[in-house]
A and B are shown apart, each in its own frame.
Chain A
Amino acid sequence: MTQTSKKRKLTNHDLNMIVLRELPLEASWHYERQQHLGFCYSIQSALKKIYEGQPEKYIDALKRHTGEFYNTSPQATPFICSLVCSMEEEYAADDSFDVSSISAIKAALIGPFAGIFDAIFLSTLRIIGTAVGTSLCMQGSFLGPIAYWAIYNIPAFICRFVGVRWGYYEGAELIQELQESGAIGKFKDAAALVAMMAFGWMTKNYVAINFVYEFGPEGGTTTIQAILDSIIPGLASLGLVWLFWWLLTKKKVNFMIVLLFTLLASILGVTLGIVG
């Protein structure tokens, strides 16, 4: 992408407005074009300013961003919004600017950004928030839901306010840099490491099964549970998680079937006195 114009029309205030307008990104989510209206709403006021005195280009931009499919992480969107705005700005100043490159960059970014931001926010920060939050809830503390909210959302808002500036001032260069340095992969790996340790911890603490069936000589009976726990406490919980993972991922069994089977097996197990 060529930088033909370095003249910036959007102020700090305009960039903050993009963040605020981005908050309702998913308000009209639907299967077909998903967050397209949310994206259009996010940059409307910026577009109006960029295309002041150029009503035809303004309407073209509205049509472009209303019409195009869009779906990625809400936390990643301010970056893409302001990067798009900086390109729209170039088009406003220079008629020869290739407008299709704006659509192309949107289409190119949403997939990888959803991948990395969902890994960081949905499967790492949210899991940490849930692990910390639920352990506080179990102690009867309202800090539980608050901690859950804060651990997920404070980084989310920082990411939005920082992202909108990076996208506007150095978006294109930054993307190139990220691709070349392999930093995206490193962030993903780091997020995965933290999330996996939290999952391991939660498997021990939040999955519970108790085999109560007794066997052995009279007076010296033992339970399967006691044997399993003597190897390592929570071994049965560990086995359950990986059994379910194997069924869902490797055997591609439908989630609802696994769920129903678990319910029936639990009722049967209690009736036969195996678990309790």
Chain B
Amino acid sequence: MILQAVLIGLVGALGQFDSIIGSMYLFRPIITSSLVGLILGEPEMGLELGATLELFYIGSISMGAYIPPDDLVGGVLATAFAIHGNLTPEAALTLSMPIAVISMGWKNVIYAFSTFACSFADKFAAKGNTTGINLIHFGMTGIKMVNAFLWCFLGYYLGADVVISTINALPTQIVDGLSVAGGILPALGFALLLNMVLNKKSLPFFFLGFVLAASFNVSIISVLIISVIIVAVTWNRSNDQEVANDSDF
């Protein structure tokens, strides 16, 4: 188990390393849960958990100064616990939330420290000392990598059995209720994200996508092809109309 715990810790560290290799969004559950599934010898379960968690956390992305719940640590640990205790994806989803919120709280402490540490970069800049600036720059991700490693490693190593026995002791209504919630919660994530792209022009296309899925049962790829065709057909036409973006939604 210790080897698996170390590897799970490294998945956490990889998620933070993402901010050095180009913000590729490797810290998302669809990536991390799949890796945890491989480590724990349950690749298919890892993939399913990754998809379930990803859909819920779809709306929790950092935009501007908003720091969402820590889907990295929450996703990695919930996946590891769920595979360890053979939980349903919905139970894993619910389990990930408190972890993600607590981990986010702790991460805010690190961000506060970052502001303090980065203030020294001005002094290095005044001396032309780029090495000093860059040490601070990369050091901050170094700290976050160690942090994520420890959370995932210790969380799994010390917590797996405790968490699973606690969950198994819960009344069935709660477990079933959380499983129902797991089906509903992606709607909350979508609602959160809709605002970024919602305006009067785009609204009808939400319903077009919905009806294509509901009444004609088409795949996502077909929906994408149709949407690109619509864009291509209307591209020049929208020239004649006002281009102002109405965001009064």
A residues with CB within 8 A of B: 22-34, 36-38, 40-41, 44, 55, 58-59, 62-63, 66-67, 71, 74, 114, 118-119, 122-124, 126-128, 130-135, 137-138, 140-142, 144-145, 148-149, 152-153, 156-157, 182, 185-186, 188-210, 232-234, 237-238, 240-245, 247-249, 255-256, 258-259, 262-263, 266-271, 275-276
Residues of B contacting A189 with CB < 8 Å? 201-202, 238, 245
Ordered by A's residue number, 22 sampled pairs between the chains whose C-beta atoms are within 8 Å are A24-B22, A24-B138, A27-B19, A28-B117, A28-B139, A31-B65, A37-B136, A62-B133, A123-B197, A132-B221, A144-B30, A145-B30, A148-B30, A156-B24, A188-B245, A192-B199, A193-B227, A195-B202, A196-B197, A207-B190, A258-B188, A263-B177
Spot the interface stretch: B6-14, B47-55, B73-81, B159-167.
Answer: B47-55
Residues of B contacting A258 with CB < 8 Å? 188
B residues with CB within 8 A of A: 19-26, 28, 30-31, 34, 43-44, 47-48, 50-51, 54-55, 58, 61, 63-65, 94, 97, 101, 111-112, 114-115, 117-118, 121-122, 124-128, 130, 133-134, 136-141, 173-174, 176-178, 180-181, 183-188, 190-199, 201-203, 205-215, 218-221, 223-224, 226-228, 230-231, 235, 238-239, 243-245, 249
**A40 touching B224 by the CB < 8 A rule?**
no
CB contact under 8 A between A267 and B19, given known A118-B196, A149-B24, A200-B213: no
Name the distance in Å between B11's Cβ and chain A's nearest Cβ.
12
- Bound complex: CA A149 to CA B48 (Å): 17
Option from A22, A33, A194, A204 in Cβ contact (under 8 Å) with B210: A204
Q: Which 7 A-B pairs have the closest CB atoms?
A: A200-B209, A267-B177, A208-B183, A197-B209, A244-B191, A30-B114, A204-B213
CB contact under 8 A between A270 and B177, given known A144-B50, A234-B213: yes
Residues of A contacting B228 with CB < 8 Å? 194
Contacts A27-B138, A200-B223 aside, 6 further interface pairs with beta carbons under 8 A come to A145-B47, A149-B25, A189-B202, A197-B212, A200-B210, A256-B101
- Bound complex: CA A258 to CA B61 (Å): 18
Option from A22, A40, A130 in Cβ contact (under 8 Å) with B133: A40
Name the distance in Å between A67's Cβ and chain B's nearest Cβ.
6
